[in-house]
A = this chain, B = another copy of it.
Amino acid sequence: MGQSAFDEAIRAIPTGSVDTYDIHLPRSWTVHGGPVNGGVTLAAAANALSVRLGETHGHPDPLCVSAFYLTAAEAGPGQVVTEVIRASRSLSTGQARVVQIDERGAEVERLRATATFVDLTTTHAEVLTVARPPYLPPREECFSPESMGGDSPLVVSEVMSRYDMLIDPTTAGWFGGQPSGLGQIRTWFRMRDGGEPTPLMLLQVVDALPPVAYDLGLTGWVPTLELTVHVRAKPAPGWLRLNMASVNLAGGFVEEDAEIWDSSDRLVAQARQLAKVPFTPAPPPGYGWVV
């Protein structure tokens, strides 16, 4: 099986230093050549940790990852500087810093992630859960952003063309300027090149969609400040389902939650991010300013 476009985008190349890996963030995962998708940058950082902790401690799979986004990563070369913080028999915790050289030749830190890795093939198989998969209409009844035509900047961006996204039409009103005000998006999701989901890919998928806060009436750039992802199981092959929710815009920030369900109806990832809202939006119908 060949490498998927995603595997290639996050490739970690060993250097002469045991803790440092070269990466090359591709333009094909940006929005119009601007910032690289944050999920891809995080997955590249986590992949370097995966290589290091996999080789030295047998823990190649992310279990829990928290990343702070410091400056916007750009397409092009960069490095991931890793640190092993603590390792035990069952799990290892490390840190990964993504750095790039800016136009003045100075090293700039893009992202700092701390993460615990495990071997997901050896964790307990039992699941005790009250979580249930989101209801999604059949894919042929869902909304494809590309049906909007070439006018939407979302549709034609490089990173959006990596995916097949089929959105529950009851949560897609914001595409046409009619946010529901509920702060919800539910969608089918897969990589267009057929790359099957992996634990590292889930770190990207939780941040692949436009901000779910768009369904609260926001528009424009809503940069992620921090993102935490729990990978709860190796995903089964096939379509993923994403359940996104955003409830509280306050203090100039908004939280966004994501659940990923795999084709075997298993909750394979839970994520939450805090994002900055650089302006005061008008509340959509049905909403009110509380304070």
Contact = CB atoms under 8 A, between A and B. Distances in A.
Contacts of A126: 249-250, 280, 289, 291
A131 B233 contact: no
Contacts of A255: 230, 270
**Count of chain copies:** 2
A123 interface: yes
A86 interface: yes
B127 A289 contact: yes
A128 B85 contact: no
A37 interface: no
A126 B252 CA distance: 8
A101 interface: no
Interface string A240-253: 00000001111111
Contacts of A120: 251
Contacts of A225: 63-64, 91, 116
Interface stretch (A17-25, A38-46, A65-73, A139-147): A65-73
A259 to B, nearest CB: 9
A106 interface: no
A65 B85 CA distance: 18
A223 to B, nearest CB: 12
Size range of the interface on A? 35 or more
A247 B290 CA distance: 29
Contact of A129 (B125, B247, B274, B277): B247
Interface string A100-136: 0000000001001010100010011111111100000
A182 interface: yes
Interface string A270-291: 1010100100110100011111
A267 interface: yes
A281 B277 CA distance: 42
B131 A248 contact: yes
A267 B250 contact: yes
Nearest to A132: B247
17 contacts: A63-B253, A64-B225, A64-B226, A68-B93, A70-B85, A85-B112, A91-B225, A112-B114, A114-B114, A123-B253, A127-B249, A128-B217, A128-B290, A129-B247, A232-B253, A233-B250, A266-B291
Given A130-B182, A131-B247, 10 more contacts: A68-B93, A120-B251, A124-B252, A124-B277, A127-B250, A128-B217, A129-B247, A130-B248, A228-B228, A232-B248
